[in-house]
Structure 1
Amino acid sequence: MTDPTRPAAGLPPLTVRYFAGARAAAGRTEETVPAGGTLDDLVTELTGRHGDRLAAVLRVASFLVDGVTCHDRQAPLPAGTTIDVLPPFAGG
């Protein structure tokens, strides 16, 4: 991931949307992060921003990248994409 104090020049940021327990752990529904990394990089950055409570959720969460399930956590995340963080849901 790029250094959050130095946004990637000219690249639109990533939008991260949190659902259910991820929303509670992050303390927000949505945020932006600089583009320029992989899903693993994003998880590291979000853990640094929000701490152990969110880290625990991220370990078991599923991720959608522009609505498509992401299985390759090392694939580059295109600038301007939306990443949905979906913790396991009970019931249903």
Structure 2
Amino acid sequence: MLTVRYFAGARAAAGRSAETVPAGRSLDELTAELAQRHGNSLARVLTAASFLVDGVACHDRSTPLPAGATIDVLPPFAGG
């Protein structure tokens, strides 16, 4: 399993702060599934979001995610 945690606007768009999903997929595949599951509002957030996999920025969205990983969805933040 994978744990997906949503922050800020991603949390509002998903309607939850976290969920678990089956492992065995890449970040691209995961985000496609999440967009389909939660609709256009989350899909828009996911296109602009950054992702952490077990606390490390993920830049290769085609690499398979390790089972048991925690994926943090971080939408762009305003302010400074």
TM tier relative to shorter chain: over 0.9
Report matched runs for 1:1-92 at 5 Å.
Answer: 13-92=1-80
- Gaps of at least 5 residues in structure 2 are none
Gaps of 5+ in 1: 1-12
Which structure is larger by alpha-carbon Rg, 1 or 2? 1
Q: Tell me the number of residue pairs that the alignment of Structure 1 and Structure 2 aligns.
A: 80
Q: Percent identity?
A: 76
Alignment RMSD (CA, Å): 0.4
- TM-score by length of structure 1 reads 0.86
User: Displacement of 1:48 after TM fit?
Assistant: 1.2
- For 2:46, the aligned partner's letter is L
TM-score relative to the length of structure 2: 0.99
